[in-house]
Amino acid sequence: MIEVEHLSKNYAGVVAVNDISFTIPRGICFGLLGPNGAGKTTTVEMLEGIKTPSAGTIRYKGKALGQQFRDEAGIMFQHTALQEFIRVEEVLKMFQQFYSHPRPIDELVEICVLDEFLDRDTRKLSGGQKQRLLLAIALINNPEVVFLDEPTTGLDPQSRRNLWAQVKKIKAENKTLVLTTHYMEEAYELCDEIIIIDRGEIISQGNPKTLLSDHFDNAVITLPAASLPDDFEPDAEASLHCQDGQIEILTSDIDVTIRHLLSRQISLHQLQVRSPTLEDLFLELTGHHLRA
Amino acid sequence: MSIRRFSAALQARNLEFLRDRTALGWNFIMPVLIVMGFAFFFSTGQEELYKVALTGQAELDAPIQNFLKTRYMDFIPVDDLETAISKVDRHQLDLLVDMDKQRYWVNSTSPKGYLLEQILSPYGLTRETVSGREIRYVDWLIPGVLGMNIMFSALFGVGYVIVRYRKNGVLKRLRATPLSAFEFLSAQIVSRMLMIVVVTVMVYAGTNLVVDFRMNGSYWLLMLILILGALSMISVGLLIAARITSEEAANGLLNLLSWPMMLLSGVWFSLEGSHPLVQNLSLALPLTHMIDAARAVMIEGAGLTDVGEQLIALLLFSVIFVIIGSKTFRWE
């Protein structure tokens, strides 16, 4: 549906996006993953036609971005505001007027769960409510492709899960979704295919579950940093990372690693074992954490 | 141009304006307070200098020579007596002295004229009254204050608001829709124009009930001046808002423009007798043409041809600024 070839963007000598290429097939949820400042928003804004690339091409249904794309795309920006002193229903009606074949408001209200605050002034919405309204606006032209730029950043866990539920409803309508996020669990939960971007370049690409199984056949053991002596060396099956006062031991054999810890008389109090996440993958690929 | 998209943007802007009660209130309250203040308390506001027009020659040893040495007075020689008398009538001159025939003209409603008359009294000149219904300072001031209010409303209501939309992302969101820049800007112009016309008519009618100021001309012509004047100010606002991304920069630039306009367009005092450079500079400001035309219609009962020059100037300002403003407009 969207083909990107050798895309680059420079700002006053700084390379924000460096020669990336990828294809977004129709009907999937495609994720752009990476830490803040990786170049995700710059990339997605070039795909949306908001920013002009310094080099490279973007094709939508085989053609350059034009009127057809504007009619068929829905966009939810990361930072955007709505006119003040206007009620939710009035905002929806205004945006409806901009398109020739808008979606009925009651459908949008149902998908995005807007019925509780339809009469409310846009200034008085909570973070989650505002994101749901912006999502409804992105869907107002019944788009074929929907761009969601960091849709849940700044939301509490409850609101984030609610928004995921709405995104899944949109997925169920067979629309193509392009999602940027720095939340790994969000990409894991929603995306069929992801590219991981760091410093303007793609460092990995594929289905999130396949990527994890390709890179890891192991588990993560976490312990408080204070439990381990400074000179601790992991066993041959494991490697160590330290984050936020926690030691993470990536191991391909839990039994061997735990026996090794016990042999060094290390307390297993507060020990946790979990499966690797995209966060671990990012760390593995780049050597630094996503939310640094 | 899609009328449907234009109307949707227009309606949103109108709702936003009408529901912002604080801003709406100020649009009404400010001009009323100023006019009422001048009508009732009638004190400061004019420049410190007294403007005395002189015609004829005084003998070198005539007592009037002492009067001509009085400080803080601007003595302006005039040739045409009739024009000078009408300027006294319109508060453009505080006093007119004919030294050949030993007489003077004063507008008995002018506070400055009253003071000058006291200073002049020892010299035994004959007092001539200004013919017809004398024009009070407030009659002269009304078009200026209304013009100033229109200027602030247009510059800040269009210029500042668009920059705010650009900064907080409203423009970015609208840009991603089929709404064109032309449709968006037209909606902003028309919305502000409607507001300015309604507010100005209401303030005019309201203050007229209390102050009963002079209106000798056609209301239709005055409305035409109002619309063209407002359009020229709005287009200045558009020009400012075309590219600026910071509200602080917009605020600074708007103040930089509005203050000279307020001082040099003859809102508070006549520029009669000021340096020719200042007078020429004032002609480069749209507010000058609007206020001059409105005063000519209201005070002198001028017709369409009398204010043709000013109307053409306002139209030219509008066309030039709208073209440059929309050509250079950036959503981001």
Q: Compute the distance between CA of residue B54 and CA of residue B168 in angstroms, rounded to an integer.
A: 59
Reply yes or no on whether the pLDDT at A93 is more than 80.
yes
Task: Tell me the ipTM for this assembly.
Answer: 0.76
- Which pLDDT tens digit goes with each residue over B26-65? 877 877 787 777 666 544 444 446 788 888 887 777 788 8
The answer to whether position A87 is within a domain reads yes
Residues of B in CB contact (< 8 Å) with A are 4-5, 7-9, 11-13, 15-16, 19-20, 165, 168-170, 172-173, 175-179, 332
Q: Give the closest of B11, B178, B332 to A71, CB-based.
A: B178
Domain coverage including residue A172: 2-212
% of chain A residues with pLDDT over 90: 28
Residue A177 lies in a domain: yes
Look at residue A281 and tell me if it is in a domain.
Answer: no
Report yes or no: A84 at the B interface, CB cutoff 8 Å: yes
> Which distant-in-sequence residues (6+ apart) come within 8 Å of B299 by Cβ?
B90, B135, B139, B140, B214, B216
Tokens describing residue B266: 């003859």
Report helix, strand or coil for B294: helix
Beta bridge partners, A193, equal A30
- Percent of chain B scored above 70 by pLDDT? 95
Rg from Cα positions in chain B? 23
**pLDDT reported for residue B282:** 87
DSSP β-bridge partners for residue B213: none
3-state SS, residue A193: strand
Query: pLDDT-based confidence at A292, cuts 50/70/90?
Result: very low
Could you tell me the pLDDT band of residue A137, with boundaries at 50, 70 and 90?
very high
Query: Does A225 lie in the same domain as A207?
Result: no
Distances (CA, A) of B57 to B71, B79, B102: 20, 11, 10
- pLDDT confidence of residue B133: 60
pLDDT of A66 reads 83
Name beta bridge partners: A204: A196
What pLDDT shows up at residue B46? 43
- Which DSSP helix (H) or strand (E) runs through A31? strand A29-33
Interface check A77 vs B, CB under 8 A: yes
Site from B24, B160, B173, B182 to mutate, A interface, most A CB atoms within 10 angstroms: B173
> Which of A94, A130, A178 should be substituted to probe chain B, the one whose Cβ sees the most B Cβ atoms within 10 Å?
A94
Residues A80, A203, single domain; the answer is yes
Verify that A224 and A177 share a domain, yes or no. Answer: no
Rg, Å, chain A Cα set: 22
Mean pLDDT of A61-78: 87
Chain B residue numbers with beta carbons less than 8 Å from the beta carbon of A96 are 8
Q: Are residues A83 and A159 in the same domain?
A: yes
| A94–B8 CB contact, under 8 Å | yes
- Which of B11, B20, B169 lies nearest to residue A77, judging by beta carbons? B169
3-state SS assignment for residue A17:
strand
Of the pLDDT bands very low, low, confident and very high (cuts 50, 70, 90), residue B2 is confident
CATH number of the domain residue A21 falls in: 3.40.50.300
Q: Which residues does B219 contact at the CB level (< 8 Å), separation at least 6? A: none
Residue-level pLDDT at B38: 67
Cβ of A98 within 8 Å of Cβ of B5? The answer is yes
Establish if A289 belongs to a structural domain: no
One domain, residues A197 and A255: no
Phi, psi of A235 (to 5 degrees): -70, 175
Does the residue A269 lie in any domain?
yes
Distance CA B29, CA A257 (A): 78
The residue among A290 and A123 whose pLDDT is bigger is: A123
pLDDT tens column, B207-231: 888 777 888 899 999 999 999 999 9
Question: What pLDDT sits at residue B131?
Answer: 57
Distance from CA of B16 to the nearest CA of A (A): 5
Residue B159 makes CB contacts below 8 A (sequence gap 6+) with B236, B237, B238, B240, B241, B250, B254
Note whether A31 and A187 are within 8 A (CB).
yes
Q: What is the mean pLDDT of residues A205-221?
A: 81
Closest CA to B295 of B151, B144, B189: B144
Would strands A219-224 and A246-251 be described as parallel, antiparallel, or unpaired? antiparallel
Residues A225 and A204 in one domain: no
Alpha helices in chain B (DSSP H): 3-19, 21-41, 64-67, 81-89, 111-120, 137-154, 161-168, 170-175, 181-211, 219-241, 247-264, 276-283, 286-300, 308-328
- Is the residue at A35 inside a domain? yes
Regarding whether A222 and A113 lie in a shared domain, the answer is: no
Domain check: are A157 and A256 in the same one?
Answer: no
Instruction: Say if A98 is an interface residue toward chain B (CB within 8 Å).
Output: yes
In whole angstroms, give the CA distance from residue A208 to residue A187: 8
Q: Are residues A68 and A8 in the same domain?
A: yes
Rounded CA gap, A233 and A158, in Å?
Answer: 40
Q: Tell me, what's the pLDDT at B152? A: 92
Residue B193, pLDDT score: 95
Handedness of CA B76, B77, B78, B84 (dihedral sign): positive
Q: How far is A103 from chain B (nearest CA, A)?
A: 14
Cα B314 from chain centre: 13
Domain boundary pick from A168, A192, A212 = A212
Instruction: State the average pLDDT over residues B95-110.
Output: 86
Q: Check CB contact of A256 with chain B, cutoff 8 Å.
A: no
Range name among B35-44, B86-95, B312-321 with the lowest pLDDT average: B35-44
Kindly list the strands in the beta sheet with A176-181, ordered across the sheet, starting from the edge strand earlier in the chain: A73-76, A145-149, A176-181, A29-33, A193-198, A201-206
Query: Quick check: A291 pLDDT over 70?
Result: no
Half-sphere exposure (Cβ direction) of B260: Cα atoms closer than 13 Å: 13
The answer as to whether A79 is a domain residue is yes
How confident is residue B297, by pLDDT bands cut at 50, 70 and 90? very high
**Interface residue of A47, A85, A89 to substitute, partner B, most B CBs within 10 Å:** A85
- Confirm whether pTM is higher than 0.80: no
- Percentage of chain A beyond pLDDT 70 is 98
Residue B41 confidence (pLDDT)? 57
The amino acid sitting at B230 is A
B5: left (phi over 0), alpha (psi -120 to 50) or beta: alpha
Q: Which two tokens stand for residue A172?
A: 């169920």
Number of domains within chain A: 2
Do the Cβ atoms of B177 and A86 come within 8 Å? Answer: no
Mutation site for B-interface testing, chosen from A83, A88, A131 by largest number of B Cβ within 10 Å = A83
Question: In the prediction, which pLDDT does A274 show?
Answer: 81
| DSSP codes joined into one string, B10-58 | HHHHHHHHHH-HHHHHHHHHHHHHHHHHHHHH--S-S-SSEEEEEES--
Beta carbons of B15 and A84 less than 8 Å apart: no
Strand, coil or helix: A122: helix
Nearest-angstrom CA–CA distance, A190 and A150? 13
The reply to whether A161 and A116 lie within a common domain is yes
Contact state of A98 with B8 under an 8 Å Cβ cutoff: yes
CB contact residues (below 8 A), chain A span 141-160, against chain B: none
pLDDT at A216: 75
Residue the block writes with tokens 């064109």: B180
> Does residue A208 lie within any of the structural domains?
yes
Which residue in the set A50, A81, A98 is minimally distant from B168, CB to CB?
A81
Q: Could you give the 3-state DSSP secondary structure of residue B128?
A: strand
A60 and A96 part of one domain: yes
What is the average pLDDT score of chain A?
Answer: 86
Return d(Cα A145, Cα A168) in angstroms, integer: 14
CB B105 within 8 A of CB B85: yes
**Cβ-count burial of B266 within 10 angstroms (0-12 exposed, 13-18 middle, 19+ buried)?**
buried
Q: Which 8-state DSSP code applies to residue A127?
A: H
The verdict on A68 touching B (C-beta cutoff 8 Å) is no
A188, A48: one domain: yes
Give Cα separations from B143 to A13, B97, B218 (angstroms).
54, 28, 14
State which of A163, A196, A212 marks the end of a domain. Answer: A212
- Cβ-based neighbours of A266, under 8 Å, separated by 6 or more: A223, A227, A228, A229, A232
Identify which of A4-8, A184-188, A235-239 has the greatest average pLDDT.
A4-8
Tokens standing for A197? 């971007």
Q: Given the DSSP bridges, would you call strands A55-60 and A63-64 parallel, antiparallel or unpaired?
A: antiparallel
